[in-house]
Amino acid sequence: MPLIWNIDTHGQLVTAIANGHVARSDFEILIDRMIEVDALPYRKLLDLIGAKTQMSAEEILSLGVRLRALQDEYVLGALALAVRSETFQHVARAAGILAAARRPMRIFDCGSTARRWLETAPREVHTPAGPGVAPNSTLP
């Protein structure tokens, strides 16, 4: 299995580690599952250090767009993204889209460093923007 993931409901943490060839569908399945179990507010570690992919730039970008759009409907938790330095250019556009989301996010070149940051990342959640709701506002 190229993308191994775990959703820890007690620790409110999603950990996904890629090993080998990953496809867009692998990420789509993970996103769908996080939505199903209400795990989008959880902190997330996405370790792509061991990943290989033949996804096009457009496929990577479309994943970023999908994740970015989720913030309008859901609360999103902190994201730590670990990628090899030579892979960074391929995910930079999608990472830029993700960074614009209203949540803490950092990119690392080491999975253990990403995990350490995520352990200290704020667990503060942000209210999704909706009609008549300002971002980060408190709902009655």
What tens-digit pLDDT sequence spans the chain (140 residues)?
A: 689 999 999 889 999 999 989 999 999 999 999 999 999 999 999 998 888 888 887 888 788 788 888 888 888 899 898 988 766 555 655 566 555 567 788 888 888 999 999 998 877 544 444 433 333 333 33
pTM, to two decimals: 0.77
> Nearest Cα to 75, choosing from 138, 119, 16?
138
Torsion sign, CA atoms 48, 49, 52, 58: positive
Distance, CA of 50 to CA of 129 (rounded, Å): 35
Distance, CA of 110 to CA of 62 (rounded, Å): 25
Calculate the CA dihedral of residues 99, 101, 103, 105 and round it to 10 degrees. Answer: -10
Q: Are 67 and 61 in contact (CB under 8 A)?
A: no
pLDDT value of position 69: 85
- Paired with 108 in beta bridges are 82
pLDDT value of position 136: 32
For domain 3-120, the CATH superfamily is STAS domain (3.30.750.24)
pLDDT value of position 100: 59
pLDDT value of position 37: 94
Neighbours of 79 (CB within 10 A): 23
pLDDT value of position 26: 94
